[in-house]
Structure 1
Amino acid sequence: MSMQSEITTSSYAEAQDAADPLAPLRDEFVGAESDLVYFDGNSLGRPLRVTGDRLRDFVAQAWGGRLIRGWDEGWYDLPLTVGDEIGRICLGAAPGQTTVGDSTTVLLYKMVRAAVQARPGRGEIVIDSDNFPTDRYIVQGIADELGLTVRWIEVERHGGVSIADVEAVVGPQTAVVLLSQVAYRSGYLADTPAITEVVQDAGAVVIWDVCHSVGSVPIQLDEWGVDIAIGCTYKYLNGGPGAPAFAYVAERHQAAMSQPIQGWMGHADPFLMGPSYEPSGGMRRFLSGTPAVIGMLAMQDMLELIDRAGMEAVRAKSIALTAYSVDLADAMLAEHGVVLATPRDPEQRGGHVTLNHPKMREVVASLWLRDVIPDYRDPGGLRVGLSPLSTSYAEVLAGMTAIRDALSSA
């Protein structure tokens, strides 16, 4: 039997699972015991079993028992304490630089506006044409609002933004560069430290969207000298639908930056209820309204699990799963005309694999009816999203086999 044939056997997948040191952690997720194939953990992660207990205990004890006293017993500081945990475990960020609050969209607006204000006299915002729609829409809206110019980096949809791409557009008029560390469509992993250096050499502020990398790809924001980063918590951090996002602002920038949505939680003395706004020091100044306490519960369980596993081990499993998916695509799907739209080099690949075919929209719809759940992105892209701690090799094989069968009958 050839190697290409061997990898398509259930015995091969079972052997990989048996040798996987992280395999026992899969049992800690709700639904792991079912036959459903979940290829969308890069959009919404599975909940952990312990999260049900945490939520029930919170309702009965913290909320139901302590009531408003909970604000004095930890809720008030939760955006900062949970932010510090995200920073320590997933971002390579020292304490006092990360906070949780608002949606990704709102935090992007806040951070882009704050960064533009920190670079007076510069009139351009740089972003790539294939960045996530919200990122592009926010930049376009702020540019219209402030009379700025958007400089577009044109990229191939099967790739992403390179160092040379950024070097070609930044200059003395660049105020802010907003990029995604992992491209949402292709899974391309940008050279974050090198691009950060290029942007800063031009005197601009770099903002990294890490929504599709945090919890899957090791990140070292402090070491890389990143200015600002934004990320969501419902993908690889498994915070649940609508869980609040987080923002990182390097300590060196905090005092000089002011955010545009001035709410009472960002005030230097929130309970003074004074007539005018005075921003708090540190990361609290980037808060606006009352934090989503319930929305921060589930992600705490996942952070504890990632901490236990270790980000390097998580990344190793992610690389192995995506490599297996690529190999299976070559062995099972290429003959059906499927084209890999994700880098083959694991150093240039995040946690998902995109497979292109003209009939993928119909294929994805049919797969959902069979409890095989990938997602679809135009043009013709099926995304295989592989959350490392909740996905098994056997699940990958079952899903790729189902894709092959759906293509055969499409």
Structure 2
Amino acid sequence: MTDFSASRARFDLPAGITYLDGNSLGPLPGAAVERARRTIADEWGPMLITGWNKAQWMDLPARLGDRIGRLIGAPAGSTVVGDTLSIKVYQAVASAVELRPGRKIVLSDSGNFPSDLYMADGLLKSLKQGHELKIVDPEAVADHINEDVAAVMLTQVDYRTGRLHDMKTITAKAHASGAMMIWDLAHTAGALPIDLTDCNADIAVGCTYKYLNGGPGAPGFIHVRPDLIDQVRPALSGWLGHEAPFSFDLDYRPGEGISRMRVGTPPVIQMAVLDAALDEFDGIAMEAIRARSIELCEQFIAEVESGCKDVELASPRDPHARGSQVSFRFREGYAAMQALIARGIIGDFRAPDIMRFGFCPLYNTPDEVSHAAAALCEIIATGEWDRPEFKTRKAVT
């Protein structure tokens, strides 16, 4: 049986805070502080530029890619870390569209994270070849996959409601029609078991600052199915994706394997923090994390609904149809969330009326679930949310 109390003790959680926003930004793993200090003081300081060789900084994108690969069911050498998730989305869509010439549709859904849609739309417009980004309801995706679709691009978990797509079924439908399949794992990597190999996904991308706890601004990752890697032409031809970056040739030749999907210089300090954060998953099965996650989410839903009739569950009722988050609708959801935060219970809000609560078994406990549910019910029952300071919108919601 997994001892989640031991993993919780390895996180530097502020006293008196119940943190239910790991689906937006994971908390600080205690070991990350020492790892960052060591990278700065023991590597960058005395080694200076020789740290690229002596401390093997240049290898971090591939090494971290393989560590994440083990969490998402990807074989070694098929995942690389670097740049931002938006950059990786751009690379993924550009590569997929080029591999399906003559097809003009990139299909996505209204539950996809807007940045993914922005990147795809901007890319397709810049191509000026008649491509179209088609956005449908999440439930209607499968019905719109046909021979006109070059690529299907979906976030596995809806960032607002937690609705979970059936990765294997949709991927099979895309392949049956001849389309490429792109998955964004931002809200699932580190939260539930993923098997990209079993699903036969073509390309997957994700971020590392949510359930992987890599810290604010932690880099994104991209996976390409091994048999496709040598066919993929990186649209962003960065120098570190070059076959021989230190030859400084004036012509671009893509590197071998997944290295061709590298773009810019790796953020070494941030990657060192991520490396330490990934240690928290060593020895813990993703199936155990998923099982505890469902328990916590089910407990939260039951306790909120038994104590508060003015909220509406926005997440799927079936625990196997949602990710590791629970969302409730409330007409004054922003103000209610601010009242919760004032009590030291941190979730977040998504327009127009959704309160989101993320659950991570590595550090969240059943007692915290009860505490948060009771506080939410009390805030709504008493009208505590109805104060001017709770209705003033901040830059980040």
TM category, shorter: over 0.9
Greater mean alpha carbon deviation, residues 97-106 or residues 299-308: 299-308
Greater mean alpha carbon deviation, residues 255-264 or residues 64-73: 64-73
Local SS of the residue matching 2:38:
helix
Q: Distance in 2 between matches of 1:403 and 1:273?
A: 58
Amino acid at match of 1:105: S
Note the C-alpha offset of 1:276.
0.8
Tell me if the contact between 1:103 and 1:232 (Cα under 8 Å) persists in the aligned partners. yes
2:59 aligned partner: 77
2:133 aligned partner: 150
Q: TM-score, normalising length from structure 2?
A: 0.93
Local SS of the residue matching 1:354:
strand
1:21 aligned partner: 3
Q: TM-score, normalising length from structure 1?
A: 0.90
1:204 aligned partner: 179
Q: Distance in 1 between matches of 2:354 and 2:295?
A: 21
Q: Distance in 1 between matches of 2:276 and 2:321?
A: 29
Q: Distance in 2 between matches of 1:69 and 1:20?
A: 41
Note the C-alpha offset of 1:23.
2.0
Post-superposition CA distance 1:187-230 (Å, at most 9, x none): 11111011000001111111001100100110000111000001
2:108 aligned partner: 127
Tell me if the contact between 2:193 and 2:286 (Cα under 8 Å) persists in the aligned partners. yes
Note the C-alpha offset of 1:138.
1.4
Q: Does 1:86 align with 2:59?
A: no
Query: 1:307 pairs with 239, 257, 282, which one?
Result: 282
Query: 2:341 pairs with 351, 368, 376, which one?
Result: 368
Amino acid at match of 1:386: F
Aligned length: 380
Q: Does 1:193 align with 2:177?
A: no
1:14 aligned partner: none
Q: Does 1:172 align with 2:154?
A: no
Local SS of the residue matching 1:353:
strand
Tell me if the contact between 2:191 and 2:286 (Cα under 8 Å) persists in the aligned partners. yes
Note the C-alpha offset of 1:332.
1.4
Q: Does 1:289 align with 2:270?
A: no
Local SS of the residue matching 1:213:
coil
Local SS of the residue matching 2:254:
coil
Q: Distance in 1 between matches of 2:213 and 2:143?
A: 37
2:394 aligned partner: none
Greater mean alpha carbon deviation, residues 300-309 or residues 261-270: 300-309
Q: Distance in 2 between matches of 1:130 and 1:223?
A: 24
Q: Distance in 1 between matches of 2:373 and 2:272?
A: 34
Q: Distance in 1 between matches of 2:237 and 2:203?
A: 19
Query: 1:43 pairs with 19, 24, 49, which one?
Result: 24
Tell me which stretches of 4 or more aligned residues in structure 1 moved more than 3 Å.
none
Local SS of the residue matching 1:84:
helix
1:157 aligned partner: none
Map 1:216-231 onto structure 2 (within 5 A). Answer: 216-231=191-206
Tell me if the contact between 1:318 and 1:386 (Cα under 8 Å) persists in the aligned partners. yes
1:348 aligned partner: 321
Map 1:1-12 onto structure 2 (within 5 A). Answer: none
Tell me if the contact between 2:224 and 2:258 (Cα under 8 Å) persists in the aligned partners. yes
Post-superposition CA distance 1:45-72 (Å, at most 9, x none): 1111111111111111121122222212
Structure 1, unaligned runs of 5 or more = 1-18, 155-160
Amino acid at match of 2:199: W
Amino acid at match of 2:239: W
Q: Distance in 2 between matches of 1:100 and 1:140?
A: 24
Note the C-alpha offset of 1:130.
2.2
Note the C-alpha offset of 1:20.
7.3
Tell me if the contact between 2:163 and 2:315 (Cα under 8 Å) persists in the aligned partners. yes
Tell me if the contact between 1:47 and 1:298 (Cα under 8 Å) persists in the aligned partners. no
Amino acid at match of 2:52: W
Q: Distance in 2 between matches of 1:238 and 1:199?
A: 32
Q: Distance in 2 between matches of 1:176 and 1:339?
A: 34
Local SS of the residue matching 2:272:
helix
Greater mean alpha carbon deviation, residues 216-225 or residues 309-318: 309-318
Amino acid at match of 1:349: R
Q: Does 1:262 align with 2:216?
A: no
Structure 2, unaligned runs of 5 or more = 384-397
1:98 aligned partner: 79
Q: Distance in 1 between matches of 2:165 and 2:312?
A: 21
Local SS of the residue matching 2:231:
coil
Q: Distance in 1 between matches of 2:107 and 2:269?
A: 35
Amino acid at match of 1:153: V
Q: Distance in 1 between matches of 2:101 and 2:194?
A: 30
Tell me if the contact between 1:62 and 1:70 (Cα under 8 Å) persists in the aligned partners. yes
Q: Distance in 1 between matches of 2:60 and 2:228?
A: 22
Tell me if the contact between 1:127 and 1:177 (Cα under 8 Å) persists in the aligned partners. yes
Amino acid at match of 2:40: V
Tell me if the contact between 1:166 and 1:199 (Cα under 8 Å) persists in the aligned partners. no
Greater mean alpha carbon deviation, residues 90-99 or residues 299-308: 299-308
